[in-house]
Amino acid sequence: MQLNTHSRPFAAPSLAVALLLAAGARSQAPMPLPDDRKAGGDAVTVEQCRAWLGTLASPEFEGRGTGQPGFQKAADFVAAHFRDLGLQARGDNGSYFQTVPWAATNVVPAKTFVSFSKDGKELVRIPAARLMIARASWPMPSHAGPCAR
């Protein structure tokens, strides 16, 4: 296994939006917003949420995996939306982004297998090429370097 570490610009607000959406999806009954947030909450419509989420979930954003081109497209989309809303950028160098270190694991199929042993003796070895998950996830995305900013 090869471990690569990278620093990537990260749209911290997009994480906040994702967490808020996940929290909202888990609750059945809407919780009333505090008075200091009610005006902002009332200004957002279901149609707007559908449009934003539909865009982010579209094939154009290529899955939005960290370090993948779709991730950068999604981050840029969210940053542009925040800019259009007039939100003050508080990220790196006055941007909506914050550089966050992260690590990725690249699987080497030729060296990857599942092994079953008993009493120290290997009974079965299944190469990566025969594992269903291997077929679904390879080739792994390339994480060649930091996103251009």
Whole-angstrom CA distances from 57 to 2, 70, 143 are 30, 10, 22
Segment 38-66 shows an average pLDDT of 85
What CA–CA distance (Å, rounded) separates 86 from 82? 6
What is the model's pTM?
Answer: 0.49
* pLDDT tens per residue, range 101-143: 878 777 788 888 899 999 999 999 998 888 765 444 444 444 4
Contact 10, 67 (CB under 8 A): no
CA dihedral 117, 139, 76, 93 (to 10 degrees): 70
pLDDT bracket for residue 15 (50, 70, 90): low
Mean pLDDT (the chain) is 75
Identify the pLDDT of residue 141.
45
Q: What is the separation of C-alpha 42 from the centre of its chain, rounded to a whole number of angstroms? A: 28
